[in-house]
Amino acid sequence: MDRKLRDFVGAKTAKTFSDVLGIETVGELLRHYPRRYLKKGELTPFDELEVGDQATVSGRVKKVTVRSLDSKQEIRPDEVNKYRRHKTITKVVVTDGRNDLELAFFNQPWLANKLTAGTAALFWGEVTMFRDIMQLKGPGTEILDEEDLSEEEIERRAKPFRPLYPASAKLPTATIERSIKIVLDNLDELDDPIPELIRKKEKLIGLREALQKVHLPETEKDWEVAQKRFRFEEALVMQTILAQRRAVTDALKAVPRPRAEGGLLDDFDARLPFKLTEGQAEVGEEIFADLARPHPMHRLLQGEVGSGKTVVALRAMLSVVDAGGQAVLLAPTEVLATQHHKTLTKMLGELAEQGMLGGAERATRVGLLTGSLNAASRRTAMLDAASGSAGIVVGTHALLEDKVQFADLSLVVVDEQHRFGVEQRAALSQKSGDATPHVLVMTATPIPRTVAMTVFGDLAVSTLTELPAGRSPIKSSVVPAKERPAWLERAWERVREEVQKGHQAYVVCPRIGDEVKNAADEEGEFAAGAEDEAGAKGKPRPAISVIQVAEVLEQVLGDLRVEILHGRLPADEKDSVMSRFAAGEIDVLIATTVIEVGVDVPNASTMVVMDADRFGISQLHQLRGRVGRGKVPGLCLLVTDSWPASASRGRLDAVASTTDGFELSRIDLENRREGDVLGVAQSGRRTSLKLLSVLRDEEIILTARHVANSLISVDPELTDYPVLRSFVRSALESEATDYLEKT
């Protein structure tokens, strides 16, 4: 498998493979699977053709004529390129030596220069009758070189299933096909990474047979059984990596932090103004059990927006502080870090006022460390972290800087992990000396089981399924601003009514709009000249911005207290806006997605999302979670210019139709590409998963996981499975598995 391709196909072709597809070895070529299969008809002699058949014929071109359908004039071959955009018909007469057959191609005049008289080719398509002449209408064509004209080669090429490869002009599918055939014919031994016993048990075909069937199938069934086998192989390699990693993690040392009676946690529980939900209590116990072990916790806490993850995290942090350690809470944005800091401080009350007048007898401190602190506050925060006087430190990635030291960091809580890179998490792990800290990752974007098993293979998962009692439902509607301009006016009226009832509202926009005004911006008048989804005229207009909406609301809601919030405001201003909104001193907050996660203002009842189609499903769900957090029923209006039948409108309708985050997450994932799901798409890396889908192939992944676990438990180094071991090694070497690396 590691043998060089150039030993098989010649230097020139090998170089093209290397240049175009990065393929160097035989193994890489054989794993360049067909993108799909072309279905041809059966190879049929001319005199056996029947109208209605799907057939393939082999013949030589006798005559070609191109005619303009407008002028009915015949077009000379040297003129055809001028007629590329005209309506034309190209008629080709082919012969098998005895009989003739007519082919008709519409609007492809250039074919006249390819299918010149004497050219041999395969044609396939439906046999029709036109004015008493038998034709193939708009057939597929494959020109045959003179050396391809052996009966055997024609038979092969005319096969009902022909592979189509991810190819390019420089490396056409026929070259790939030919090279694969050469390799398959000349390669003798092939080592199968799937151990034979497992292959038997799972009824999977062997490697050689599978390669034959995936590249040169005779029937549909062939490539189905082949693909099944390769999917399992990919899943097995991946799950073996994860099983090994779990074994390593299980062997890591952490300082056990068993829950202590009579500490801060008990004091906190005693002063909690509400009763924990059953789920919160249960997950709490799971976490305490993890923390008591001498191995690091790796737990994912997933729960619907508003399900009360923060309390769960805080209780975990307090229990660690009680046991003499420190905890860190990492947030994806500064706004959110600041919010968390306030929330924690407030929830803890005097328990967070250690050493202060009025502080409780047993108390700690909650530090805040973000990028935009002034030098003095920063120094204090860093000192508190380093001395250990801050039992809890909240912050953004500024916390990851080398300079930040901790006295005894033992728990890292990561909020909204999907915003955090794996590298950053790894950096934090390095801050706790010899022992590895316990890690709790929180997310409001539920992850399907298989994805959790793939991307977060070594994380245990806890789920909060219920919302705290007394939550009000959120009503959501789509507001088609273009079809129904009056509805948008009505939306602003609803905002006014809510404010009159004493509530507050968010208006969310995709863009800030404070860029230097340019031509596009001038054109981009509010809600004018909207984008045409079907991809028609003109440039799409820029998304509606915070600044534009502020101007509009100045007119419409001028008497209310309207303010703006976005990422480019100075930190203290952001802070001040956020605190005034939380204090009820602002009625309407026009903002970008800085408010997406975690912001908690229970009095906010209404959210209007402008150009809602520009947001993703889970993002909208997150945003919507900002309202309906208190006793006040929530209202979410999704304003859009997208067309009723468009895909983006479909997404909005889905969001409006349910508040079930798991359901939305499923819809969302189905609409995304696999790479996005695994988080590798942005980096543009090739993934080692070629045929396996972490969404669809749940069963295969579960089986492979089970198999991998048992293999690793008896043979952690895979000594008895050298082929699998070498597959695992090369998967690890390829950058593509970076996403597995540090989770």
Q: Which residues bind ligand ADP (CB under 6 A)?
A: 274, 276-277, 280, 303, 305-311, 444, 468, 600, 629
CB 363 within 8 A of CB 354: yes
Q: Count the site residues for Mg ion by CB under 5 A.
A: 1
Residue 333 binding partner per list Mg ion, ligand ADP, none, with a CB distance cut-off of 5 to 8 Å that depends on partner kind: none
Rounded CA-CA distance 697/677 in Å is 14
For 291, residues 6+ apart whose C-beta sits below 8 A from its C-beta are: 256, 257, 258, 259, 297, 316, 319, 320, 323, 411, 438
- Distance of alpha carbon 288 from alpha carbon 286, whole angstroms: 6
By beta carbon distance, the residue nearest ligand ADP is 308
Residue 106 touches which of Mg ion, ligand ADP, none (Cβ within 5-8 Å per kind): none
**Minimal distance, residue 613 CB to ligand ADP, in Å:** 25
**Residues in the chain, overall count:** 743
The residue among 597 and 724 lying less far from Mg ion, judged by its C-beta, is 597
Residue 278 Cβ, how far from ligand ADP at the closest point, in Å? 9
Shortest distance (Å) from residue 142 CB to ligand ADP: 58
Residue in 566, 560, 575, 632 with CA at minimum distance from that of residue 596:
566
Residue 358 DSSP class? T
600 touches which of ligand ADP, Mg ion, none (CB within 5 to 8 A by kind)?
ligand ADP
Nearer to Mg ion, 181 or 418 (CB): 418
The whole-angstrom separation of Cα 328 and Cα 302 is 18
Q: How far is the CB of 310 from Mg ion (least distance, A)?
A: 5
CB-nearer residue toward ligand ADP: 494 or 621:
621
List % helix, strand, coil for the chain (3-state, nearest 5). 45, 20, 40
How far is it, in rounded angstroms, from Cα 621 to Cα 635? Answer: 13
Task: Calculate the CA 173 to chain-centre distance.
Answer: 29
Alpha-carbon distances of 743 from 326, 426, 663, rounded to whole Å = 22, 8, 25
Nearest distance in Å: CB 600, Mg ion: 7
Q: H/E element holding 303?
A: strand 298-303
CB of residue 510 vs Mg ion: minimum separation in angstroms?
Answer: 23
Binding site partner of 225, from ligand ADP, Mg ion, none, Cβ cut-off 5-8 A by kind: none
160 or 279: CB nearest ligand ADP: 279
Identify the bridge partners of residue 91 per DSSP, sorted by sequence position: 65, 104
Selection from ligand ADP, Mg ion, none that 303 binds (CB < 5 to 8 A by kind) is ligand ADP
For the record, the structure tokens of 308 come out as 């009360």
CA distances from 79 to 64, 65, 86, 245 (A): 14, 12, 12, 65
Q: With binding defined as CB under 5 A, does residue 661 bind Mg ion?
A: no
Interior/surface letters 598-615, b for 16+ CB within 10 angstroms, e for the rest: bbbbbbbbbbbbbbbbbb
Q: Which does 307 bind (CB under 5 to 8 A by kind): Mg ion, ligand ADP, none?
A: ligand ADP
Please say which residue, 66 or 311, places its beta carbon nearer to ligand ADP.
311
The residue sitting closest to Mg ion, measured at its beta carbon, is 598
Distance CA 692, CA 232 (A): 8
Instruction: Tell me the closest approach of the beta carbon of residue 277 to ligand ADP, in angstroms.
Output: 5
Q: Select the residue interacting with Mg ion from 284, 598, 625, 634 (CB under 5 A).
A: 598
- Which residue lies nearer to ligand ADP by CB, 257 or 629? 629
- 508 by DSSP, 3-state: which? strand
Q: How far is the CB of 589 from ligand ADP (least distance, A)?
A: 18
Query: Least distance (Å) from ligand ADP to the CB of residue 575?
Result: 19
By CB under 5 A, residue 332 contacts Mg ion: no
The least distance separating Mg ion from the CB of residue 561, rounded to whole angstroms, comes to 26
Q: What's the rounded Cα separation, in Å, for the pair 238 and 728?
A: 8
CA dist., res. 454 & res. 236, Å (int):
11
Least Å distance, CB 418 to ligand ADP, is 14
Q: Judged by CB, which is closer to ligand ADP: 381, or 444?
A: 444
The DSSP code sequence of 242-264 is HHHHHHHHHH---------TTSH
Interacting partner of 274 out of ligand ADP, Mg ion, none (Cβ under 5 to 8 A depending on kind): ligand ADP
Q: Which residues bind Mg ion (CB under 5 A)?
A: 598
